[in-house]
Amino acid sequence: MKEFNVAVVGATGAVGRMMIKVLEERNFPVKNLRLFASERSRGVKIPFRGEEIEVEVLGEQESYQGLDIALFSAGASRSLEFAPKFAADGVVVVDNSSAWRMDPEVPLVVPEVNPHAVADYKKKGIIANPNCSTIQMVVALKPLYDYSRIKRIVVSTYQAVSGAGQKAIEELIAQTKAWCAGEEMPAPKVFPHQIAFNCLPHIDVFLENGYTKEEMKMVNETKKIMEDEDIGVTATTVRVPVFYGHAEAVNIETEKKITAEKARELLSSFPGIVVIDAPEEKKYPLQIEAAGRDEVFVGRIREDESIDCGLNLWVVADNLRKGAATNAVQIAELLAEKYL
Ligand code: NAP
Ligand code: 3JM
C-alpha cells in the first residue's frame, strides 16, 4: 500500500495530540510523521507508534517539500500564514481552523455528507475541516435531508471546554478544585467569566449582528456543506462546564412530513450515527458516554407538535474526535484512497 509523509501542525495542542492518536488508531499509512508547534514546545517529544518524535518550531524550515499531507490545528492566524506556504510546496493541507472554511475555492468536507467535495482540493491545495458543532449537526441531518429537504434549522449548543483548547480544560479543573476546597475562585483567563458551575452564551467573538462568530460558523458552514444556500439556520452556542463532548438541541422544519419512527429508521441506517432513544429506560445520548467515541449519537427524537412537518433531536459527539481530529483524518483517508 502507498504510504504518505504526514505533518501535524499544532501537534502539542488538544486537537493536535488527538490527531496523532487517531492517525495511529486508524492505522493511517504514514511513512514519516513530522510534528510542528511554537517556540514554547522546542525539544518536546511526542510518542507515535512506539517512537518519540521531536517537535519542530513552525517557520524555521526553508521548505515543506517532501511532505504529502499536513493536518493543521494551530489556530486560524497560523493557518492563514502557513497553509499557503505548505500548499505552494505541494503539500495538501487539511485545516481545522475557521481561516479557510468559507473560501469559495476551498472545499469544506464532512466525509459522511459531501465526500465528493474533496476533489476541489486541487484549487488551492487546502481542504477545510468544519467547526465541531457544525460537523455533528450535519451528520445527524444528512439522512433526514436526503428523505425530505430541510427548510429551517434552529439549534442550541452545549459545548465542552475542550473545544477552547488545553488551557481551557485546565481552567475548568482549577476552578472546580478551588470551589470544592472552599478556596478563592481563580480569575478566568481563557473564558470571559467563571465556567465552573456556569453556562456562557458566548463562544468566540461577538459580531455586528449580535450573534457570536461561533453561531455564524454554524449558519454559513451548514449551507456550504449541505450545498443548499436556502436552508434557514439560526443558532445559539453555549459553553458548558463539561470536559469532552458537545451536545445540541436541534429543531428542524422539513418539506415533507418525517414521523419520529421514520427518522429513527433513517438515522439508524446511516454510517457514523448511533441512535440511543429509549427514554422510558432513561436512554439518550450523554456527553460522558460520547467522549472517546467517533460516532454521532442521536436521541430524544420527537415530532414538533407546533408545526406540520417538524422534528426535535438531541445530538451528541466527541468534539475533539468527530468534531476535529477524526473528521480531519477521514478527509486524509479520502485523499489517500482516491486522489494522491
Ligand atoms: P490548543 O490546545 O491551545 O493548542 C494550540 C496548538 O497550536 C498548540 O500545539 C500550539 O503550540 C500551537 N500554536 C499556537 N501558536 C503557535 C505558533 N505561533 N506557531 C506554531 N504553533 C502554534 O488549541 P486546540 O484546541 O488544539 O485548537 C487549535 C486550533 O484548532 C484552534 O485554534 C482552532 O482553529 C482549531 N480547532 C478546530 C476545531 C474544530 O471544530 N474543527 C475544534 C477545536 C479547535 P504550543 O504548544 O507550542 O503553544
Ligand atoms: C478557534 O468549541 C470551540 O470553541 C470551537 C472550536 C474552535 C475554532 C473553530 O473550529 O471554529 C476553537 C478556537 C476556532 C477557529 O475559529 O478556528
Provide the 8-state DSSP code for 250: E
Beta strands 51-57 and 45-48 are antiparallel
Specify whether 199 is catalytic: no
The mean pLDDT of 157-172, rounded to a whole number, is 98
Ligand 1 pocket member 16 (CB < 6 A): yes
Q: What pLDDT is attached to residue 116? A: 98
CA 82 to chain centre: 21
Q: Ligand 1 centre and the CA of 209: distance in Å?
A: 27
Q: Dig out the grid coordinates for 15 from the structure.
A: 486537537
- What is the domain partition of the chain in residue ranges? 4-130+324-339, 133-319
Angle between helices 14-25 and 326-334 in degrees, nearest 10:
50
Question: Which residue has its alpha carbon closest to ligand 1 atom 4?
Answer: 13
Catalytic residue among 132, 180, 199, 309: 132
Q: Of the CATH numbers 3.40.50.720, 3.40.640.10, 3.40.50.1820, 3.40.50.300, which one belongs to the domain with range 4-130+324-339?
A: 3.40.50.720
Q: What is the pLDDT of residues 134-155, one digit of tens each?
A: 999 999 999 999 999 999 999 9
Q: What is the pLDDT of residues 51-79, one digit of tens each?
A: 999 999 999 999 999 999 999 999 999 99
Distance separating alpha carbons of residues 21 and 24, to the nearest angstrom: 5
Q: What is the pLDDT of residues 207-233, one digit of tens each?
A: 999 999 999 999 999 999 999 999 999
The mean pLDDT of 67-95, rounded to a whole number, is 98
Q: Is the pLDDT of residue 178 over 90?
A: yes
The mean pLDDT of 235-243, rounded to a whole number, is 98
Tabulate helix, strand, coil % of the chain (nearest 5): 35, 25, 40
Specify whether 246 is catalytic: yes
Q: Is the pLDDT of residue 1 over 90?
A: no
Residues 6+ apart with CB under 8 A from 123: 105, 106
Give strand pairing partners of 36. Answer: 9, 56
Q: Dig out the grid coordinates for 153 from the structure.
A: 434549522
Distance separating alpha carbons of residues 270 and 293, to the nearest angstrom: 16
The mean pLDDT of 310-318, rounded to a whole number, is 98
Candidate of 8, 15, 85, 157 to mutate for ligand 1, largest count of ligand atoms within 8 Å of Cβ = 15
Q: What are phi and psi of 202, to 5 degrees?
A: -160, 100
The mean pLDDT of 94-107, rounded to a whole number, is 98
Class of domain 133-319: alpha beta
Q: pTM of this prediction?
A: 0.97
pLDDT band at 163 (very low <50, low <70, confident <90, very high): very high
Q: Ligand 1 centre and the CA of 45: distance in Å?
A: 17
pLDDT band at 46 (very low <50, low <70, confident <90, very high): very high
Q: Which ligand is nearest to the CA of 240?
A: 2
The mean pLDDT of 285-306, rounded to a whole number, is 98
The mean pLDDT of 38-43, rounded to a whole number, is 97
The mean pLDDT of 37-62, rounded to a whole number, is 97
Ligand 1 pocket member 110 (CB < 6 A): no
Q: What pLDDT is attached to residue 172? A: 98
Q: What pLDDT is attached to residue 96? A: 98
Q: Ligand 1 centre and the CA of 312: distance in Å?
A: 33
Distance separating alpha carbons of residues 36 and 73, to the nearest angstrom: 10
Q: What pLDDT is attached to residue 94? A: 98
For residue 128, which of 84, 85, 96, 89 has the smallest C-alpha distance?
96
Q: Ligand 1 centre and the CA of 74: distance in Å?
A: 3
Q: What pLDDT is attached to residue 337? A: 97
